[in-house]
Amino acid sequence: MQNYVMYLRKSRADVEAESHGEGETLLRHEKMLLELSKKMKLNITKIYREIVSGDSIASRPDMQKLLSEVESGIWAGVLVVEVERLARGDTIDQGIVAQAFKVSNTKIITPLKTYDPNNEFDEEYFEFGLFMSRREYKTINRRLQGGRVAAAKEGKFVGSRPAYGYKIAKILGDKGNTLEVIPEQANIVKLIFSLYTEGIIDEFDEKRRLGIEQIARTLNEMHIPPSRKDYWVKSTIRDILINPVYAGKIRWNWRANQKQIINGEPVVSRPRNEEYVLVNGLHEAIVSEEVFARAQEFIAMAPPAPVGYKNQIKNPFAGIIVCGICGRKTVLRKGSTVGNHRKKDYIVCHARGCKNVGSAFNYIEDKILGTIKSWYDRYTVELDQQKIEPDINRTVIEKSLKSINEEIATLNKQQINIFDLLEQGVYSTEQFLERSQNLSERINSANESKISIESKLSRYIEMETASNQLMPKIRHLLDVYESLPSAAQKNELLKEIVEKIEYTKDKAGSPEDFQIVMYPKLPVKIN
């Protein structure tokens, strides 16, 4: 029996209509398409509800999943309220959608028309519909952006996320939004500017300005929470210091999205725009223009970071070691130099409130390499043992896979039969729908069992891959690791064989008293 999938997505017009009390759009569309499937006797086995707004496929995760399934040919058709819901992006996105449906011969079913992508006239009608949809979208977006620029020039707040220290507020007696001060957060903003421009009295009774990193550390030690993260970082402090909103200004289009094609893939960047809008805002300033200007002078005097500094990998385990308590990525804290003595580098978790204790980098590195070495030796023995003993389990799994395929074939025949019983009057509509749902659930359950069995069978294939490909990579890592000149090269080799490493140390004590759990790119978990 052919299966169909339903795709639901809101448009900007739907969101606007909902704000005026016209009801939940996706529920109305779902009801409409369920009635259509009943009328056309279509077996709906899955519904995608896109809750993320976006004009491109890259920003719509459910659309990406749907296209992947369409390309694999598992659906006979996709039900949507209108073809425009599938693709309103650029020409490339529309081409991807059209090609996916055409190659897989998947129909597009709407209440007004069913499109067969391999029918010449339907294909032209479908592509024309997408073209007109894109043209309408660009017109709406052009008006929207123009309205935002005009509102920004009037001093109104037109963004979706206010700066720390403010909340969005409606303008009384006028359209649009402004910003309202949050007193508790505003005091923290004032403190940041004060520490950076004036400083504090040190132990020698002298006033000393704090740098951006010192301010972040001070706020973390004071247990003052930021708005979006668990702890303060340098970039957050710097963004506050250079944001003119705190001096009562509105800045718009300062870092507009810019799309580029890199290595064949679209990449969105946000470079600084020299022609941005900067006007006096309608909101209350938190710091004076004099204080803000002084902060900009100090920032301009700060020495720039070396070219490419931020992109250089200094930690061989960057992106690999995660905190075993909170799950966040750990960082490498470089040891400072005092006289002729240099303190050790440490791996630490910077998450605010996390009780994981850091450890010296060299101890962690030695333990990881030692674990990989002992695991490599043990796993080599297991692979050799499998070559000697016959694999009974694989035979059992292959028989189970054959049995589940036969069961699925039988259920599909039963699904076809219930349509005959409906036409013959043996089943009422309600009985038909109940029986259809029951069979769909059984088919889904059988397909899930099939996936599980196939997963077990693939384990044996992975074991062969491990033996032929990954084990040599690990051997190579162990042979050359110490001689590699850069952390980036070590990181590259480690990422070829390790998914992640969980690091845990619940209390201070012996420098080697910590635990690691490694998850290699192999069908085995190392403890």
- By the 8 A CB rule, do 219 and 188 touch? yes
- Quick one: 190 and 139 in the same domain? no
In a domain, 76, yes or no: yes
- By the 8 A CB rule, do 358 and 376 touch? no
Domain limits for position 190: 166-301
The residues near 334 (Cβ < 8 Å, ≥ 6 apart) are: 314, 345
Distance of CA 343 to the CA centre of its chain: 37
The residues near 399 (Cβ < 8 Å, ≥ 6 apart) are: none
- Quick one: 205 and 137 in the same domain? no
In a domain, 36, yes or no: yes
In a domain, 116, yes or no: yes
- Quick one: 172 and 291 in the same domain? yes
Residue 371: burial class (beta carbons within 10 Å; 0-12, 13-18, 19+)? middle
- Quick one: 15 and 141 in the same domain? yes
- Quick one: 371 and 510 in the same domain? yes
Please provide the distance, in angstroms rounded to a whole number, between the alpha carbons at the two ends of the chain. 46
Both tokens of residue 235?
Answer: 């970039």
Quote the strand ranges of 196-264, DSSP E. Answer: 200-201, 207-208, 249-252, 258-262
- Quick one: 13 and 68 in the same domain? yes
Neighbours of 23 (CB within 10 A): 8
How far, in Å, CA of 138 to CA of 150, rounded? Answer: 18
**Can you say whether residue 263 is alpha, beta or left, with left for phi > 0 and alpha for psi between -120 and 50 degrees?**
left
- Residue 15, pLDDT score: 56
In the three-class reduction of DSSP (H, G, I as helix; E, B as strand; rest coil), residue 179 is classed as: strand
- By the 8 A CB rule, do 478 and 376 touch? yes
Helices 471-480 + 487-497 axis angle, to 10: 160
In a domain, 427, yes or no: no
- Quick one: 139 and 173 in the same domain? no
In a domain, 201, yes or no: yes
How far, in Å, CA of 77 to CA of 97, rounded? Answer: 13
Q: What is the CATH number of the domain that holds 275?
A: 3.90.1750.20
In a domain, 325, yes or no: no
Domain end call among 250, 269, 301: 301
Note the helical H segments in 106-166: 120-153
In a domain, 355, yes or no: no
- By the 8 A CB rule, do 250 and 281 touch? yes
- Residue 342, pLDDT score: 73
- Write down the pTM of the prediction: 0.44
- Quick one: 176 and 256 in the same domain? yes
Domain end call among 301, 323, 338: 301
List per-residue pLDDT tens for the chain, 527 residues long: 678 999 998 765 555 545 544 447 788 888 888 888 888 888 888 888 887 666 677 778 888 899 999 998 989 999 998 877 777 656 677 778 888 888 898 999 998 888 887 787 777 766 666 666 656 556 656 666 666 778 888 889 888 789 999 999 998 888 888 999 999 999 999 999 999 998 877 655 567 788 888 898 888 888 888 877 777 888 889 999 999 999 999 888 776 666 555 555 555 566 666 667 789 999 999 999 999 999 999 888 866 554 444 557 788 998 899 999 988 888 888 776 656 677 788 898 877 678 889 999 999 999 999 988 887 887 677 666 655 454 546 677 778 888 888 888 888 888 778 777 766 777 776 777 678 778 888 888 888 888 888 877 776 666 666 666 677 888 888 899 998 888 889 998 898 888 899 999 988 878 888 999 988 775 444 44
Tally of domains in the chain: 3
How far, in Å, CA of 109 to CA of 95, rounded? Answer: 19
Q: What is the CATH number of the domain that holds 59?
A: 3.40.50.1390
What 220-225 contacts at long range (C-beta under 8 Å, 24+ apart), as own/partner pairs, is 220/352, 223/352, 224/188, 225/352
- Quick one: 62 and 142 in the same domain? yes
The residues near 421 (Cβ < 8 Å, ≥ 6 apart) are: 427, 432
Domain end call among 103, 129, 153: 153
In a domain, 495, yes or no: yes
Q: Could you tell me the sign of the dihedral formed by the alpha carbons of 326, 331, 332, 338, in that order?
A: negative
Helices 183-197 + 212-221 axis angle, to 10: 140
- Quick one: 252 and 383 in the same domain? no
Going from the C-alpha of 348 to that of each of 256, 363, 364, 526, the distances in angstroms are 35, 13, 11, 22
- Quick one: 17 and 140 in the same domain? yes
How far, in Å, CA of 44 to CA of 437, rounded? Answer: 9
- Quick one: 116 and 218 in the same domain? no
- Residue 21, pLDDT score: 45
How far, in Å, CA of 478 to CA of 498, rounded? Answer: 13
Q: Which helix (H) or strand (E) holds 189?
A: helix 183-197
How far, in Å, CA of 445 to CA of 439, rounded? Answer: 10
